Amino acid sequence: MDSPAGATEHPTTAKNRDPIDRRIWSLALPALGSLAIEPLYATADTIIVGRLGTTELAGLAVAAQILILLAALANFLAYATTQRVAHHRGAGQREAAASTASQAMWLSVLIGLIMAAGIALYGGAAARALGAEGPVLDVAHQYLGIRAIGLPAVLLALAAHGILRGVQDLVTPLRIVAAAAAANVVIELVMVFGFGWGVAGAAWSTVLVQWLAALVYVQVVRPHLRHGRRGVELREIASLLGAGGWLIIRVSALLAALTVATSAAARLGEAPLAAHQILSTAFMVAALSLDALAIPAQTLIAEATGAGDAAAARHIGRRILRAAGAAGLVMGLIIAVLAPVAPMVFTADAEVRSEATAAMFVLAVLLIPGSYAFALDGILIGAGRYRALGVAMLGSLIVFLATLVIADLATAGTGLTFGGLAGVWVALGLWMLARTGFTWWIWNRSGPRPVQVRASP
């Protein structure tokens, strides 16, 4: 049969264009839109809460890190669903694809309720563990308690994203995310400043919009569930969890690095912690934007391996890495140019601005190897190389922790913990470089391995 990616033949024009590039960019551009817009939930919170005061912004930094951790742990719902749905489609297994989609939605509700209960009970303890105390702890605890209500909606949206990516519909999620982000800004401004609800208003507006978006997603994916079984299928749920097991390990290691970085920033003081929140927001926006190329990698490579065409998968991977390198360079330059002025958007505190500006130059450099790391993640997920990704991320975490320990020892007695906030982000840069090296080695050593995904009976 013809390659689903159209890559069994690789004619190129004199300008070095490749036919597969059109398919990659037809998926990457709407993915870029939705991925770039999604962080506006956090960006809106950061800008608006930053105007309330440094204490509020520092409390948001801690709460946001916990919420990012939970959402990232559940990201396997999108990744594993995308890979399995696309793989089944490539193999011509329509009913199996629908069954995977249906069970992903059920699983998202179950995990979302468990996470919501956990945050409601232990959110304050988690914030305290990250170094929050006093008024900062109070802000973080209040924000987390409200945002917990939206966690099931967040996970429903993740599963729906996975389904729509698997069927190569990335325009619909873009429209939903854009509408939700716009609504969130308007509602948040009204609740925070109009009603005078402060940090609580920022949290409630986000929860409201998350649930409205989740209801829209449920309606949108219904046609893709039609040919599958509607009830709970424990075998398919177990298969999704099995596919996501190594992804959870991968994300746990990734979030451990980011969480340790937040904890290190908290030890530096209130102003560096507030600046770290600005850097974390900028990193999230840039990373998710660069991740746009990982989405077509997941979908197209999974489809190619489902059809048994490893040559097509390799070619898609090469073209995506080529594009990722250029995108990372452009994004790094943009961050470097904006470094002196961007912090002014978030805060009026001169100390916070100074800390954030210095670290943003480090972030600009970090994004160059980061662009390859994000793309390689998508390539290996599409090829079903979950275990390799998990091991690579664990190795990168060890490099990051070792860097922090060495930096702490080197600055002992100088009054510069970890070399300051910029030092924390230098460690994150070395972490990203190690991550790129490990995943590149995996891809070059063995390439894609067509994975047999068992269809549901």
Instruction: Render pLDDT for 333-352 as a digit per residue (tens, 0 to 9).
Output: 999 998 888 888 887 788 88
Instruction: Render pLDDT for 433-443 as a digit per residue (tens, 0 to 9).
Output: 999 999 999 98
Name the band, by pLDDT with cuts 50, 70 and 90, for residue 456: very low
Q: For residue 183, count CB atoms less than 10 angstroms from its CB and return exposed for 0-12, middle for 13-18, buried for 19 or more.
A: middle
Instruction: Render pLDDT for 142-190 as a digit per residue (tens, 0 to 9).
Output: 999 999 999 999 999 999 999 999 999 999 999 998 899 889 889 999 9
pLDDT given for residue 231 in this prediction: 65
Do residues 85 and 162 touch, judged by C-beta distance below 8 A?
yes
Residue ranges covered by each domain of the chain:
24-446
Name the band, by pLDDT with cuts 50, 70 and 90, for residue 356: confident
**Which of 401, 402, 274 is closest to 347 using CA atoms?**
274
pLDDT given for residue 162 in this prediction: 92
CA angle 166, 171, 175 (to 5 degrees): 125
375 pLDDT higher than 70: yes
Name the band, by pLDDT with cuts 50, 70 and 90, for residue 448: low
Do residues 62 and 136 touch, judged by C-beta distance below 8 A?
yes
Instruction: Render pLDDT for 116-134 as a digit per residue (tens, 0 to 9).
Output: 999 999 998 999 988 888 8
87 pLDDT higher than 50: yes
| DSSP string across 186-248 | HHHHIIIIIS--THHHHHHHHHHHHHHHHHHHHHHHHHHHTTS--S--HHHHHHHHHHHHHHH
pLDDT given for residue 7 in this prediction: 41
Name the band, by pLDDT with cuts 50, 70 and 90, for residue 418: low
Per the model's pLDDT, the better-predicted residue between 33 and 366 turns out to be: 366
CA gap 26, 2 in Å, rounded = 20
pTM of the model: 0.76
pLDDT given for residue 40 in this prediction: 65
Residue 144 amino acid letter: L
Do residues 172 and 166 touch, judged by C-beta distance below 8 A?
no
Instruction: Render pLDDT for 244-293 as a digit per residue (tens, 0 to 9).
Output: 788 888 888 887 898 888 888 888 888 888 888 888 888 888 888 888 89
pLDDT given for residue 457 in this prediction: 42
| DSSP string across 151-175 | HHHHHHHHHHHHHHHHTT--HHHHH
Do residues 354 and 270 touch, judged by C-beta distance below 8 A?
no
pLDDT given for residue 17 in this prediction: 67
pLDDT given for residue 279 in this prediction: 86
pLDDT given for residue 283 in this prediction: 87
Per the model's pLDDT, the better-predicted residue between 410 and 20 turns out to be: 20
Instruction: Render pLDDT for 380-397 as a digit per residue (tens, 0 to 9).
Output: 999 888 888 999 999 999
DSSP designation for 149: G
Instruction: Render pLDDT for 13-29 as a digit per residue (tens, 0 to 9).
Output: 445 567 888 889 899 88
pLDDT given for residue 9 in this prediction: 41
Residues of the chain above pLDDT 70, percent: 88
Signed CA dihedral, 87, 90, 94, 98: sign only: positive
| DSSP string across 248-271 | HHHHHHHHHHHHHHHHHHHHH-HH
pLDDT given for residue 414 in this prediction: 53
pLDDT given for residue 76 in this prediction: 86
Q: What is the mean pLDDT of the chain?
A: 84
pLDDT given for residue 187 in this prediction: 93
The helix/strand/coil state of 412 is coil
pLDDT given for residue 417 in this prediction: 55
Instruction: Render pLDDT for 49-78 as a digit per residue (tens, 0 to 9).
Output: 888 888 888 888 888 888 887 887 888 888
Do residues 59 and 199 touch, judged by C-beta distance below 8 A?
yes
Name the band, by pLDDT with cuts 50, 70 and 90, for residue 452: very low
CA gap 21, 229 in Å, rounded = 36
CA gap 77, 369 in Å, rounded = 26
Per the model's pLDDT, the better-predicted residue between 240 and 145 turns out to be: 145
Name the band, by pLDDT with cuts 50, 70 and 90, for residue 451: very low
Name the band, by pLDDT with cuts 50, 70 and 90, for residue 450: very low
